[in-house]
A = this chain, B = another copy of it.
Amino acid sequence: MSYTAPLKDMLFNIEHLARIDQVAALPGFEDAGLETAQAVLEECAKLNEGVIAPLNFEGDKNPSFFKDGQVTTTPGFKEAFRQYAEGGWQGLQHPVDFGGQGLPKTIGAACGEILNSANMSFALCPLLTDGAIEALLTAGSDQLKATYLEKLVSGQWTGTMNLTEPQAGSDLAAVRSRAEPQPDGTYKVFGTKIFITYGEHDMAENIVHLVLARVTGAPEGVKGISLFVVPKFLVNADGTLGARNDVHCVSIEHKMGIKASPTAVLQYGDHGGAIGYLVGEENRGLEYMFIMMNAARYAVGVQGISVSERAYQKAVQYAKDRVQSRPVDGSFTTAAPIIHHADVKRMLMTMRAATEGCRAMASVAAAAYDAAHHHPDAEVRKQNATFYEFLVPLVKGYSTEMSLEVTSLGVQVHGGMGFIEETGAAQYYRDAKILTIYEGTTAIQANDLVGRKTARDGGTSAKAIAAQIEKTEAELKARGSANALAVAKRLGAARQAFVDVVEFIAANTKSNPNAAFAGSVPYLLLAGNLMAGWQLARALLVAEDLSAKGQDVPFMQAKITTARFYADHILSRAPGVRDAIVDGAEAVTALPAEAF
C-alpha cells in the first residue's frame, strides 16, 4: 500500500492532547467522543488508502489538461470524487441543517490530513469548497444559503475562491475586478482572476465561484471590495441548472507540482457580464473572504503535515528495502538495509519528529477552534478563540515550511533514485513548495502573527501561552526522567527565546517597523517550533505514564523518543533564531535596493 493513515498517532493526539472528552462535552458535539473519532477515521482511511491515494502519482504523470475552455481532470478523479461526495465527506464539519454531519474540527482536521496525504491535488477541490461554504454560512443571505449550501455540502457542486489578479497577489487592495449593480438586485461582474484552484473542472455539475470585486463607485483600497457568488451555471428557482454564466476558463497553469489540480485563469464578463450575487453587504468583502481564508490557512497547514507524512512513509519503506553498506556500529556483518545507518535514522527521525510535532500542534488548535465556537461560556470561547487565532499562522506557516525540509529529506533518503521521477519521492518535494506560497505566503502569515496576533495586544496573548509552556516545563522537571529533563531543558530555552522575541516585536512594531518585520518569518518559525515542541513534550508526559501502565509500550516508547529527538534536534534551533531576530535586524534592511 502506498499510504497508510497514521490512525494511532492521530487518535493519541485527539484523546490526550486535544482532549476529545472535553470537545464531546460541548453542546452539539455530544456524540463526538473518542469512539466516533475512531470510527470516522477508520472509514476515512479506507476510502483514501484504497481509492484516492493510488491516483496521486497518476495525477502527476497525467495532469489536468485544458482544451477549448474545458478542463479534463486526471483519469479516475471524477469517479473518486463521486465516491468522496457520496460518502458524505464534504459535509463532515458542516451543519446538519444543510445536510452535513456537524462533527468537530478536532475530528475533521484529522480526516483532512488523511485526504491530503492520499492526494493533495485531489484534496484541493474539497478544501476550496469548504471555504465557500464557510463564507456563505457566515455572510450569505437566506436565499443564497438555500440555493447553494446543500449542493455544496453534498459535494454535488464545488466552490472556489477568486482573489488574485495579475497586479493583485498578496496585496488585495489592488483588486480591479468590478461589479455593476443591476435593477433586479444582481450585479454584472467583469475582470480577470488568476491562480484559481479548480476554477474549471469536470468533477461536478456546477462550480460556485466566490469572487472579490469592486462595486461601481466603491472606495479605493481594501475598503471598497465586495464579495460575490458567481456560479458557472445559473440556478433556476427550482434548483435545477439554468444558463451558462459569463465566466470562462481561458487557460490553466503549467506548474512545478500539484499538477493534477487545475489552476485556472478565469475571465469574467467578456460577453456582457457575469451575473453575480452579493454576499453580505457591499464593501465588506475582504472581511468575509478572511473567513474563508482563515479556514483555508489552517487547512493548508494540514497539507504540510499531510505531504510530510506521505514523504516519511515512502522514505521509511525505501530505507527498509534498500540494502547498502555495513552500519558503523558493527551490528551487521554484511551490507544492511540503510535504515540501520545512523544518518538515515537521523533523517527519518527528523521527518518523523517534524511531522508528529506539527500534527500535535494542529490537533490542539482544532480543539481550541471547537471550544471557541461551541463552549457555553463566552469567556472560555474568547480564550480559545485567541489561542486558535494565534496558532493559525503557525499551523499554516511552520507546518508548510517544515514540509519543505521533510520532503527534501525524503528525496535524500532515496539517494540517486530520489531524483528519478518514477520513484515518486520527487513529487512530494515539488508538490510541497506551493504550500509556503498559496493562501498567503509565509511572510503574509508572519505579518499576521506580528501585527494582529502579537503587537496589537503588546504580546499579552503570546506571553500567556509562554506561561502555559512553563507549566509543562515544571511537570517535566517534576517527572525527573532523563528524557523529561532533556526535553524540559530545550523547551525552557526555546520558550525564553520566544519571550525575548515577543518583547522585541512588541517594542519595535510601531517605533521601528523594519526591525520587527525583518524578523517576522524567523519569529513565526521560532513560535511554530515552540508550539510543536511543547505539544510533543505534553505527549511525552502522557506516553511515559501509559508506558509505565503497560499500555501499547512500543508506541509509547517511540513517542517518547520522537519527543526527545524533536527537543534535541529541532527545538534546539530556537535560541539561534532569537539571536538572528534581536541582534540581526539591522543587516536585513541596511542595503539599498540598488546594491542588490
Contact = CB atoms under 8 A, between A and B. Distances in A.
A124 interface: no
Question: Quick one: which of A518, A521, A569 has the most chain B CB within 10 A?
Answer: A569
Interface stretch (A75-83, A95-103, A361-369, A557-565): A557-565
B343 A521 contact: yes
Given A561-B590, A596-B352, A171 B329 contact: no
Given A328-B514, A352-B596, A518-B343, A591 B561 contact: yes
A554 interface: yes
Interface stretch (A131-139, A198-206, A253-261, A371-379): A253-261
Nearest to A512: B329
Interface stretch (A276-284, A295-303, A432-440): A432-440
Contact of A513 (B256, B329, B561): B329
A146 interface: no
Nearest to A312: B596
A454 B431 CA distance: 39
A320 to B, nearest CB: 7
Nearest to A450: B328
Question: Quick one: which of A348, A421, A565, A584 has the most chain B CB within 10 A?
Answer: A584
B343 A517 contact: yes
Interface stretch (A46-54, A207-215, A382-390, A574-582): A574-582
Interface string A131-174: 00000000000000000000000000000000010010111011
A441 B408 CA distance: 13
A345 interface: yes
A566 B562 CA distance: 31
Interface string A312-337: 00001001100111001110000101
Interface residues of A, dominant DSSP:
helix
B174 A324 contact: yes
Interface stretch (A66-74, A237-245, A411-419): A411-419
A17 interface: no
Given A328-B513, A591-B345, A593-B340, A411 B433 contact: yes
Contacts of A256: 411, 419-421, 426, 429-430
Nearest to A336: B593
A339 interface: yes
A348 B594 CA distance: 13
Interface in A168-223: 169-171, 173-174, 194-195
A342 interface: yes
A546 interface: no
A478 interface: no
Contacts of A576: 572-576
A171 B340 CA distance: 14
Interface residues of A, number: 97
A514 B167 CA distance: 54
B255 A420 contact: yes
Interface in A375-415: 404, 408, 411-412, 415
A254 B422 CA distance: 7
Question: Quick one: which of A174, A345, A430 has the most chain B CB within 10 A?
Answer: A345
A565 B587 contact: yes
A596 B348 CA distance: 8
A588 B565 contact: yes
Contacts of A565: 584, 587-588, 590
A329 B170 CA distance: 18
Given A420-B253, A421-B255, A583-B568, A588 B349 contact: yes
A216 B198 CA distance: 61
Given A173-B335, A575-B575, 8 more contacts: A170-B324, A337-B593, A339-B593, A342-B588, A346-B518, A349-B588, A430-B430, A564-B587
For the complex of A and B, the 3 pairs showing the least CB-CB separation, nearest first, are A568-B584, A565-B587, A328-B513
Interface of A: 164, 167, 169-171, 173-174, 194-195, 253-257, 316, 319-320, 323-325, 328-330, 335, 337, 339-346, 348-349, 352, 404, 408, 411-412, 415-416, 418-422, 426, 429-430, 433-434, 436-438, 441-443, 446, 486, 490, 513-514, 516-518, 520-522, 554, 557-558, 561-562, 564-565, 568-569, 572-577, 579-580, 583-584, 586-591, 593, 595-596
12 contacts: A256-B419, A256-B426, A320-B596, A330-B513, A339-B593, A343-B517, A348-B596, A418-B433, A554-B595, A558-B591, A572-B580, A574-B576
